Structure 1
Amino acid sequence: MGSNRVFARFARCAVLAAVAASAAFSPLTLAAEPPPAIVTQRPPIADFFENPEFSGALLSPTGNYLAVRIGSKELRDRLAVVTLADNSVKVVAAFGDADVGTFQWVNDERLVFTATDRTVGQGDMRYGPGLYAINRDASKFIQLVSRSSKSLFTGGSMIRNRDMLPVTVYLLGQKAAQDSEFVYVVQPQVSGASQVHEVGLLRLNTLTGRATPVTGTPDNSRQWLLDDKGEPRIVTTVNKGISTILYRDPASNAWRELATYNTYTGGKDGFSPRAFGPDGTLYVVTNAGNDTTSLHKYDLAANQVAPQALVQIDGYDFRGSLVTANGKLLGVRYLADANGTTWFDDGMKAIQAKIDTMLPNTVNLLSVPTRSETPWVLVIAYSDQFPARTLLYDSATSNLTTVGGSHPKIRPEQMARQTLVHYKARDGLTIPAWLTVPKGGGKNLPLVVLVHGGPYVRGNSWGWKADSQFLASRGYAVLEPEYRGSTGFGSKHFRAGWKQWGLKMQDDIADGARWAIAEGTADPKRICIAGASYGGYATLMGLINDKDLYRCGINWVGVTDINMMYDGHWNFSSDLSDHWKQYAMPQLVGDQVKDAEQLNATSPLLRAAEIRQPLLLAYGGADRRVPLPHGTKFYKAVKQANPDVEWVEYEEEGHGWALPKNRIDFWGRVEKFLDKNIGQAGAAAATTTANAAGAPQ
């Protein structure tokens, strides 16, 4: 998709800007943005890796109000409400010692929101996000769920701490009917070893703080699905590696089984409940005998999936959601190479066409209020060169106004193009990959092979990404393979990656680099492999398996030994659950007994002496997914034979960098490391060495 999108000019009108100098309630104004500056130097690192200045907007159920979360470098993230009839703005929540986290409309007058702290790393976080409720005029504030022993100040009154729900209660994350003061929250039952035994569901009154458990629920409940009226209708239970989907009949309130399948590997009868339509129809995602999944209706009377797909995307598993309003299914949001929408409603088709005409060079995603009484439509617009921006469209006047952007300092004219490419692995499997080429293109470029984590996830989609765009801004081509085992590209592609850590999954990545060489994009002598988590593991195994291919490697928070994932002993517990280790890892990664020889052969820790290329290692001191000993043990082992290893530990960070200062520091190190080894400095050094040796040029 990226290759046929040529960015021209984007009309930017206005952004929400905070004028408050403190955390007190203060108005916001609609302020015009300055014209784009003419920039000749490459963008600063901070422009890519600072926290977003604007990170969320939601229309109220009627569409009369817009809730927005705004932030800046100097101030905490705040929650504000815009009255769209007159553009008046009111900050309704501004903590003195925290940022506003997630937020959601309860009804047209009331919101709930959580707290977070963007100034500390994972290792310094001690409490859950809490839960708070407030009216759009900043009245009737209440703290509903405890966050710490001290209540956070936001003005107004609150209930006593002993009356709050405990810190282990979380917002469900699905909107209810939005026509009452109630929301649903969940309370996981977790052991000390991060083992979730059950997830309880509670109905919470956001005015009084009183919560009522949903009774009569099956044992081992894990995932809940509300119907369009906001009532719990589906629960998925998990027991000994088997998932069971149960449906609560509205006539009898009794639960009955719809399907049973293996939790991690699926099965012919398995499906994923996605949503209920306004008429009570259940929509599910299933293979239906095909390689890729698609969206289907489910016949609750016959207990079977409808054979005809409602939305099917060639070459992609379905991933998306329903778009409903005023008791009608309007369309379906989906992800192919980029996000898109299939509209069933003629009015929404016309609005989409009008907005696409006004914004011809971006993907434009439309959201509508639940019970719309206004002409307002919320628009998220983005491209590979343009970070996501939120706009409001007035369908009565056809006016389009910018609300805010995630990275307003980024100039699209400086950004690179991203293209979805495909190449053949050595065994014939087709591998999708994302190729980002520096502004202006070029041939024989230094290449960074950026490997996604997971590994059993989809790595990327078309759009602006800070890491690949930053690397491209420094002159590097970036290739991001969706190696076998990645999800989103069909069952065959996913299953081909089972038990292939360090083997065929690794070959797919190397074959991508060699494809880039054959295409003339990459300089074969200037290729570096990099990645986080599983991507860090693949970086190390790449340096071992393909010594002739990779000049250097960058591994952050990467696994260094599969056996350590099973039974590593830490000073604090890993968040890999016993359930995952018992029922998933033996089938997807490798069995410690049956595959012992393979796990040893694909252990970067045991083969550390083979790595002689320059290497940058970075780990979080509070990482519970890949605990720090993965890094420290490997660093000690690799240093014995390799003097060119750089180590950095961010003590307060977890599995990735939450703090802008650490993101900026890390990517600054990456910039210097790459420049030295495959960039201009490295090329100059290689030329000098070659000339001194009398080698032909």
Structure 2
Amino acid sequence: MPIALRRLLAIAFMLVSLPAFAAPSALLPVQDFARHGELSNPSLSPDGQLLAVAVRSTDADGNSHYQLAVLHLPDLKPLSRLDMARRNVPGQVVWVSNTRLVVALAYESAWLDVPQMTGDLVALDYDGSHKTTLYSLAERGKSIHSQDMPKGSASIAGIPETRNGHIYVNLRPFPSGSYTMYDAHSSMVYDVDTSNGSAQLMGKIDKGDMSFVMHAGIARFAYGSPDAGATINTYARDGKDQPWHLLPASVTGKALIPQQISADGSTMWSIYSADGGPEMLVSSKLDGGGRKVLASDNFSAIGDILWAPHHGAPYAASPAVGRPRFLYLDDSPLARVHKALSDKFPDEVIDFAGRSDDGMVLLIHAYSDRDPGTFALFDRHNMNLRPLFQVEPWIKPAQMAARQPIRFKASDGVELDGYLTVPGDGTKAHPMVLLPHGGPIGVADGWAYDTDAQFLASRGYAVLQVNYRGSSGRGMNFMRAGYRQFGDRIQHDLIDGVHWAIEQGHADRNRICVYGGSFGGYSALMTPIVAPGLFKCAIDYAGVSDWSIGMDYSDTSHFSAGKTYFADAIGDKAAARAISPLYQLDRFNVPVLIAHGEADPRVPFRNATELRSALDKAGKPYVWLSKPKEGHGFYSEKDRTDLLQHMQDFLGKYIGH
């Protein structure tokens, strides 16, 4: 039995409110911040009697191996363990009956630091028997599946409301000569019988990259973006054989994204924004009429939504910005349970990660800024809370730093939000690291455990993260405000945040560094150019030094939506070079640590090698770290540990105590 599984069976901790910060007597080991969790993706069966969980183990060479384990509840007796092929991960697990489940596979590689979904779907009974491949693209251009579905990108879209062993599968068919869903000219949804793989087409629309909302076995709505997120188009139809029609702007406003339809078909719940401001949760008739606002926030879009079983109404919602805080929309039993657990554990955010069909057994996910996450079972029959496992049990929340949501005004008056992670050592002004997030469009930092921020805080640094213009969580207008501003307003938002931290007394103005990955790596190169003298050093991790390289060679450039994104967000090649640090190194006057994966498809490795050559030519200092088997971010624990050790040494030299 794998060690991780034995740990799950033997674990005996209890969920308790976190104690006040207690500074460790010695530095936590670097490798503790590079490790991957051993247990993940728990999924509860419809009757609440079985739990499936992904189990990760590591061999002597550092290679990961995964199993899908199924345990009986409540005694946690192991019933089966299914070995996965090398580098294959159970990315998503969905029960289609009390005894049968579907696994969507992911592939473990260095790609944005997480395993990527492959589109392969496998069904099996809880004991590992009656295994059926529902969909697979095992070889380029050759589909291996048991029903006649086109070659394309497949994903789990949901299950019929009364579980019957079937599953809904979204499919974005590949156009001729292409193997990316982003160039799909149509979108489809199938009802697939998991016992034999037979599939029935339930809906098709001649628009690419669309998602469907099902009701009573009919695809009633389809929505998606035709222009890399600039707009959301929503289509509706009255029946299975009826044509799709685009809902008019008078109904949708800037965005109307259907989420769920009530069991009786009378009510639709949607995410809605009339003018591009923060999206709210609304209810309406199916034609969009009779709209009623259920949850909204003037500053933040609505983020997490909790739903009653069986196409029931939403009973709680939380804004996306800041520390999650739930607004309860009714006094239903699940709302009362959620509120009671939240009150009992005020330092944690409580989320329902699964439930039995009758709603009496709940899979609880609790997390915080200092806790990577804990899973537990709550049995409403006897009101018993039973811990299952911690995501990263070696991380002790009491030793982690508090993460403070912040707001400040940028130099042009726009209010921004972000997070400040400060060591709990009693010092007022710390050396500080500015940590810009990647993206930049449609990504945001949030209030949750952040490995980079906690690692840096454990080394004595305050960490500032700013949700600059272009970030998600504030509405489409705020997100679009980042377009054509990569080298200008976005960088000033970050710099304004640094000045705010200095003025508030959080940062020592003479010891500030900038570190980021992907677009954050670009900002690590760009902010010292825009604000000379403010930073003492920079860490460029998989960052962009020349945007024109990405326009020619990145994976984003290989599909039409990616080309549109570059054109809309940056402009032409001349505009790309004008905002690229590579051509402004005469103004870049800080030492830099350059870390990059040599197999990076998103930000090609040439960004790093050409930057290195230019720095060599200019006689400017840098530290070099590249990994031949890594892509867009270092994934292996060995390589991640090496990166963090390099960062610790580099920061210690230039802004350390």
In structure 2, the residue matched to 1:141 is: 131
Contact 1:122 1:652 (8 Å CA) reproduced: no
1:19-58 mapped onto 2 (5 Å cutoff): 19-20=1-2, 30-33=9-12, 40-58=25-43
Greater shift, 599-608 or 551-560, is seen at 599-608
Task: Give the whole-Å Cα distance in 2 for the aligned partners of 1:113 and 1:428.
Answer: 48
Q: Could you report, residue by residue, the CA deviation over 1:143-169 in whole angstroms, capped at 9, with x for unpaired residues? A: 22335369xxxxxxxx98787978744
In structure 2, the residue matched to 1:319 is: 303
Q: CA 1:368–1:565 in structure 2 vs 1: closer, same or farther (change >3 Å)?
A: closer
Equivalent residue in structure 2 for 1:110, among 76, 97, 100: 100
Secondary structure of 1:139's counterpart equals: coil
Contact 2:255 2:271 (8 Å CA) reproduced: no
Q: CA deviation at 1:354?
A: 2.7
Asked whether 1:174 is paired with 2:151, we answer no
- Structure 2 unaligned residues grouped into runs of 5+: none
Asked whether 1:667 is paired with 2:652, we answer no
In structure 2, the residue matched to 1:385 is: 370
Structure of larger gyration radius: 1
Q: Could you report, residue by residue, the CA deviation over 1:489-524 in whole angstroms, capped at 9, with x for unpaired residues? A: 245533433311211211111111111111221111
Greater shift, 132-141 or 543-552, is seen at 132-141
Secondary structure of 1:671's counterpart equals: helix
Q: CA 1:471–1:534 in structure 2 vs 1: closer, same or farther (change >3 Å)?
A: same
In structure 1, the residue matched to 2:491 is: 506
Equivalent residue in structure 1 for 2:262, among 263, 274, 277: 277
Q: CA 1:120–1:448 in structure 2 vs 1: closer, same or farther (change >3 Å)?
A: closer
Contact 2:30 2:641 (8 Å CA) reproduced: yes
Greater shift, 377-386 or 356-365, is seen at 356-365
Q: Could you report, residue by residue, the CA deviation over 1:321-347 in whole angstroms, capped at 9, with x for unpaired residues? A: 451214532524433423344442431
Equivalent residue in structure 2 for 1:361, among 344, 347, 371: 347
Paired amino acid for 1:133 = A
Task: Give the whole-Å Cα distance in 2 for the aligned partners of 1:464 and 1:625.
Answer: 25
- Structure 1 unaligned residues grouped into runs of 5+: 1-18, 151-158, 681-697
Greater shift, 56-65 or 534-543, is seen at 56-65
Secondary structure of 1:274's counterpart equals: strand
TM-score, length-normalised on structure 1?
A: 0.83
Equivalent residue in structure 1 for 2:78, among 75, 80, 89: 89
Q: Could you report, residue by residue, the CA deviation over 1:609-639 in whole angstroms, capped at 9, with x for unpaired residues? A: 3222110112222222211222222221122
Paired amino acid for 1:351 = V
Task: Give the whole-Å Cα distance in 2 for the aligned partners of 1:469 and 1:126.
Answer: 25
Equivalent residue in structure 1 for 2:183, among 182, 196, 200: 196
Paired amino acid for 1:657 = F
Asked whether 1:101 is paired with 2:91, we answer yes
Task: Give the whole-Å Cα distance in 2 for the aligned partners of 1:197 and 1:464.
Answer: 36
1:193-342 mapped onto 2 (5 Å cutoff): 194=180, 195-198=182-185, 199-214=187-202, 217-229=204-216, 231-236=218-223, 244-250=233-239, 253-259=242-248, 268-280=253-265, 281-289=267-275, 291-300=277-286, 303-304=287-288, 306-334=290-318, 335-342=320-327
Task: Give the whole-Å Cα distance in 1 for the aligned partners of 2:443 and 2:622.
Answer: 30
In structure 1, the residue matched to 2:560 is: 579
Q: Could you report, residue by residue, the CA deviation over 1:367-407 in whole angstroms, capped at 9, with x for unpaired residues? A: 4536216x321211111111211111122322211111111
Q: Could you report, residue by residue, the CA deviation over 1:19-58 in whole angstroms, capped at 9, with x for unpaired residues? A: 3479xxx998631347999963222122222111222222
Greater shift, 341-350 or 549-558, is seen at 341-350
RMSD of the TM alignment (CA)? 3.3
In structure 2, the residue matched to 1:455 is: 440
Task: Give the whole-Å Cα distance in 1 for the aligned partners of 2:313 and 2:147.
Answer: 40
Contact 1:68 1:79 (8 Å CA) reproduced: yes
Q: CA deviation at 1:470?
A: 0.6
Greater shift, 249-258 or 530-539, is seen at 249-258
In structure 2, the residue matched to 1:531 is: 516
Q: CA 1:133–1:340 in structure 2 vs 1: closer, same or farther (change >3 Å)?
A: farther
Contact 1:622 1:628 (8 Å CA) reproduced: yes
Paired amino acid for 1:487 = S
Task: Give the whole-Å Cα distance in 1 for the aligned partners of 2:634 and 2:157.
Answer: 24
Greater shift, 502-511 or 487-496, is seen at 487-496
In structure 2, the residue matched to 1:646 is: 623
Q: CA deviation at 1:455?
A: 0.9
Asked whether 1:77 is paired with 2:63, we answer no
Secondary structure of 1:328's counterpart equals: coil
Asked whether 1:629 is paired with 2:606, we answer yes
Number of residues of Structure 1 aligned to a counterpart in Structure 2: 634
Q: CA 1:354–1:440 in structure 2 vs 1: closer, same or farther (change >3 Å)?
A: same
Contact 2:468 2:494 (8 Å CA) reproduced: yes
TM-score, length-normalised on structure 2?
A: 0.87
Secondary structure of 1:171's counterpart equals: strand
Contact 2:300 2:321 (8 Å CA) reproduced: yes
Paired amino acid for 2:198 = R
Asked whether 1:613 is paired with 2:598, we answer no
Task: Give the whole-Å Cα distance in 1 for the aligned partners of 2:324 and 2:36.
Answer: 23
Q: CA 1:268–1:130 in structure 2 vs 1: closer, same or farther (change >3 Å)?
A: closer
Task: Give the whole-Å Cα distance in 1 for the aligned partners of 2:189 and 2:373.
Answer: 34
Task: Give the whole-Å Cα distance in 2 for the aligned partners of 1:73 and 1:187.
Answer: 35
Secondary structure of 1:668's counterpart equals: helix
